[in-house]
Amino acid sequence: MTTLYEPAYAKLNLTLDVLDKREDGYHNLQSVMQTVSIRDDLEIDVGTGKPWRLLCSVDGIPTDETNLAWKAAAVYCRSMKKDPDGLEIRIVKRIPSGAGMGGGSADAAAVLRALNRHFGEPLSILALAELGAEVGSDVPFCVLGGTAMVEGRGERLRKLPDLPDCIFVVCKPDFSVSTPELYRKIDETAIPHRPDHRAMENALLAGDLGMVAENLWNVFDPVVTSEHLELNYIKSICHSYGALNQQMTGSGSAVFAIMPSFEYAAVVCNMLKENYPQVFIAKPV
């Protein structure tokens, strides 16, 4: 038996635009995504000689074949014609669920990377990301990591210059948002303002954090905020302590802020923790 260890990093959407609806029922997206240091940790036992098993440190997470980490293992073994002779996946969960931070996708990506390494890296990272598209929309980016432009349903990736070093505060409020319901609402809503992806790319090329912050935009943010005004409270706390900018990530409900220093981030963290237990300080990875 061999035990594999792999970190699974959360993602934030620096920009997110929803485009047309596709024939397969999904929407085309355009998003600049960034992996951050908030992470789950995975241990994978290969060759247990027993039926597959998945364990998670947090209650309420599915531990059967519906879990994306399990799905990723199944997709890898099937497509690569590999028999692991029994598998056990253990997840230490820190990325909050229902946050728009890609926790399940990050776990799936970690499984793909770990198994690929175990079997002698037959797939390049980009080929592995392509395989990840069979598991879920955010999995290809989570396989790749760093800073990237993500398009289509999530399967088209283009590496971008690294985000300048910075400090994030991420706050997950107590509610979560139904992603299908949110897409239904966005289909019925005129989108008055869309992200300027060219400006965001130029900001990253210039290594200008102020310009990056200026160009944060997520078309889902105003839709969710109109129904959950507490997001405005979280944003106002961040803003009042000098955040360069703040917005919701993904389809929510976590809000992140780019802070000017660790000291200010720590103050915001302490302020928010009075009402929200799930507050994190993070860096880009």
The verdict on whether 235 is a catalytic residue reads no
Helix and strand element counts for the chain (H, E): 10, 11
Average pLDDT, the chain: 96
Range list of H helices, the chain: 68-79, 103-118, 125-132, 139-144, 179-187, 197-206, 209-214, 220-227, 230-240, 262-273
Model pLDDT, residue 179: 86
The verdict on whether 138 is a catalytic residue reads yes
| Non-local CB neighbours of 47 within 8 Å, separated by 6+ positions | 1, 2, 84, 85, 86
* 70 phi/psi in degrees, rounded to 5: -65, -45
* 279 phi/psi in degrees, rounded to 5: -125, 135
Catalytic residue among 17, 40, 107, 138: 138
Does the pTM surpass 0.85? The reply is: yes
Residue 155 near residue 177 (C-beta atoms within 8 A)? no
DSSP state of 281: E
202 torsion bin: left (phi>0), alpha (psi -120 to 50), beta (else): alpha
Residue 108 near residue 62 (C-beta atoms within 8 A)? no
Model pLDDT, residue 183: 87
Provide block-wise average pLDDT over 10 residues at a time, the chain (285 residues). Answer: 98 95 84 98 97 96 96 98 96 96 97 98 96 96 98 95 97 92 87 95 98 98 94 97 97 96 96 96 98
Give tens-digit pLDDT for 176-209: 998 888 988 888 888 889 999 999 999 999 999 9
